[in-house]
Chain A
Amino acid sequence: ETGVTQSPTHLIKTRGQQVTLRCSSQSGHNTVSWYQQALGQGPQFIFQYYREEENGRGNFPPRFSGLQFPNYSSELNVNALELDDSALYLCASSSSGGQGGKSAFGSGTRLTVV
Chain B
Amino acid sequence: AQSVTQLGSHVSVSEGALVLLRCNYSSSVPPYLFWYVQYPNQGLQLLLKYTSAATLVKGINGFEAEFKKSETSFHLTKPSAHMSDAAEYFCAVSDGANYGGSQGNLIFGKGTKLSVKP
Contacts and interface: CB of A to CB of B under 8 A. Distances in A.
Contact of A101 (B36, B43, B103, B105): B103
Given A43-B44, A106-B43, A94 B110 contact: no
Interface residues of B, number: 28
Nearest to B113: A40
Nearest to A44: B108
A90 interface: yes
Contacts of A66: none
A105 B45 contact: yes
Contacts of A55: 99-100
Nearest to A47: B105
Contacts of B90: 42-43
Contacts of A31: 99-102
Contact of B97 (A35, A42, A43, A56): A56
A99 interface: yes
Q: Classify the interface of chain B: helix, strand, loop or mixed.
A: loop
B111 A45 contact: no
Contact of B105 (A6, A40, A56, A100): A56
A26 to B, nearest CB: 12
Contacts of A96: 100-102
Given A90-B44, A99-B94, A105-B44, A42 B108 contact: yes
Interface in B38-85: 41-46, 51
A31 B104 CA distance: 10
The 5 A-B pairs at the shortest CB distance, nearest first, are namely A42-B108, A50-B100, A96-B101, A45-B105, A107-B43
15 contacts: A31-B100, A33-B105, A41-B110, A41-B111, A42-B92, A43-B106, A50-B99, A50-B100, A56-B104, A98-B101, A101-B102, A101-B103, A103-B46, A107-B42, A108-B43
